[in-house]
C-alpha cells in the first residue's frame, strides 16, 4: 500500500510538472529573453554613456576655443564706448544689428536721417605696392533721407571710403511705396559735373561731408569688434545651456 502511494505521488508530481510545462511552454524561453533584455539594456546604457562623454568633451573644446578668442580680441584692443553724437547728429548704435542711424533737424522743416552699414566691401589700396591682402580700403554704404513732412523724401545713396564720401544715386521717394519698375534717375557719375558739385555742397551744408566718412570708419571699426564678441558670447551661452 505504501509502495502504491509512493508511485501515485511520483505520477502526480510528473503529471503536474508536465501539465504546467504544457500550459506555460514559454517559461524557459522567457527566462532566456529576460537575460537577453537585461544584457541589451546594459549595452545601450554603456553606449549612451560613451556618446554623452563625447558630446561633453566636444562642447568643452568649443567653449575653450570661444573663451580664448574673446580674450584674445579684448587683449588686442578693448571695446570703446560708442560715440553718441557726431556734430549735430545723434547716433543710435542699434546693438546686434549691422546698421547704425544718425538723425538731426535742419532748419524749420527738414528731418535728416542717415542709415549706415558696417563694412560691406573693400578694394585694394591705391597707395599700396605690396601683395598684402589686408592692405585694402574698406567700404561703407550709407543712405541719406531728407524729408520735409509733405510725404516725399529725398533719398541719396552714398559710399564712405576711409577719408571721403561718394554719391552714387539720388531720387525723390513718394510717401506711397514706389513701383519696383519706377524710374529713379541715372547714375550720379553720369550727370553734369556742375550738378554733381551742387549736390555735394547741398549735403555739406547739412553736415554730411568727408568728416562723416572718417567718423563712420572709426565707429564701425569699434562696432565690428563689439558685434563679433557679442556673437561669440551668444554662441557660448547657448553651448553652456544644459
Average pLDDT, the chain: 80
For residue 225, the Cα-to-chain-centroid distance in whole angstroms is: 14
Q: Which residues pair with 117 in a beta bridge?
A: 99
CATH number where 110 lies = 3.10.280.10
Q: Which residues pair with 186 in a beta bridge?
A: none
Query: What would the grid cell of residue 195 be?
Result: 550738378
Is 218 part of a structural domain of the chain?
yes
Count CB-CB contacts under 10 A for residue 101: 15
Please give the pLDDT value at position 34.
Answer: 47
Please give the pLDDT value at position 185.
Answer: 84
Cβ-based neighbours of 137, under 8 Å, separated by 6 or more = 122, 123, 124, 125, 126, 161, 162
d(CA 109, CA 113): 13
Please give the pLDDT value at position 179.
Answer: 66
Residue 49 has pLDDT above 50, yes or no: yes
Is 60 part of a structural domain of the chain?
no
d(CA 198, CA 167): 12
pLDDT > 90 fraction of the chain, expressed in percent and rounded: 55
Q: Pick 22 or 93 by higher pLDDT.
A: 93
d(CA 25, CA 40): 24
Query: What would the grid cell of residue 104 be?
Result: 538731426
**String of DSSP letters for 65-111:** HHHHHHHHHHHHSPPPPPPSEETTEEEE--TTSSEEEEEEEETTTEE
Cβ-based neighbours of 158, under 8 Å, separated by 6 or more = 141, 142, 143, 144, 165, 166, 167, 168, 208
Residue 102 near residue 211, CB atoms below 8 Å: no
Q: 203 is in which domain, residue-wise?
A: 85-125+136-230
The pTM assigned to this predicted structure is: 0.72
Segment 140-159 mean pLDDT? 94
Is 66 part of a structural domain of the chain?
no
Is 105 part of a structural domain of the chain?
yes
Report, in angstroms and rounded to the nearest whole number, the Rg of the chain calculated over CA atoms: 38
Give how many domains the chain has, as a whole number.
1
Is 65 part of a structural domain of the chain?
no
Is 18 part of a structural domain of the chain?
no
Segment 133-156 mean pLDDT? 91
The string of pLDDT tens digits covering residues 184-224 is: 888 999 999 999 999 999 999 999 999 999 999 999 999 99
Amino acid at each position: 500500500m505504501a509502495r502504491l502511494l509512493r508511485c501515485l505521488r511520483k505520477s502526480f508530481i510528473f503529471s503536474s510538472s508536465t501539465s504546467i510545462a504544457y500550459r506555460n511552454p514559454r517559461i524557459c524561453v522567457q527566462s532566456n529573453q529576460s537575460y537577453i533584455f537585461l544584457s541589451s539594456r546594459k549595452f545601450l546604457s554603456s553606449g549612451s554613456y560613451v556618446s554623452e562623454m563625447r558630446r561633453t568633451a566636444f562642447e568643452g573644446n568649443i567653449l575653450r576655443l570661444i573663451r580664448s578668442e574673446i580674450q584674445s580680441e579684448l587683449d588686442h584692443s578693448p571695446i570703446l564706448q560708442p560715440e553718441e553724437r557726431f556734430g549735430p547728429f545723434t547716433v543710435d548704435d542699434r546693438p546686434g544689428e549691422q546698421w547704425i542711424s544718425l538723425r538731426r533737424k535742419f532748419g524749420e522743416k527738414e528731418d535728416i536721417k542717415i542709415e549706415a552699414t558696417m563694412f560691406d566691401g573693400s578694394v585694394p589700396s591705391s597707395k599700396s605696392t605690396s601683395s598684402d591682402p589686408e592692405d585694402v580700403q574698406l567700404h561703407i554704404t550709407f543712405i541719406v533721407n531728407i524729408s520735409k513732412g509733405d510725404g516725399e523724401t529725398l533719398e541719396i545713396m552714398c559710399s564712405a571710403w576711409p577719408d571721403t564720401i561718394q554719391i552714387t544715386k539720388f531720387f525723390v521717394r513718394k510717401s506711397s511705396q514706389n513701383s519696383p519698375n519706377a524710374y529713379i534717375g541715372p547714375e550720379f557719375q553720369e550727370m553734369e559735373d556742375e550738378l554733381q558739385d551742387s549736390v555735394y555742397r547741398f549735403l555739406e551744408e547739412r553736415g554730411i561731408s568727408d568728416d562723416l566718412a572718417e567718423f563712420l570708419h572709426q565707429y564701425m571699426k569699434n562696432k565690428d569688434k563689439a558685434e563679433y564678441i557679442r556673437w561669440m558670447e551668444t554662441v557660448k551661452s547657448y553651448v553652456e545651456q544644459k
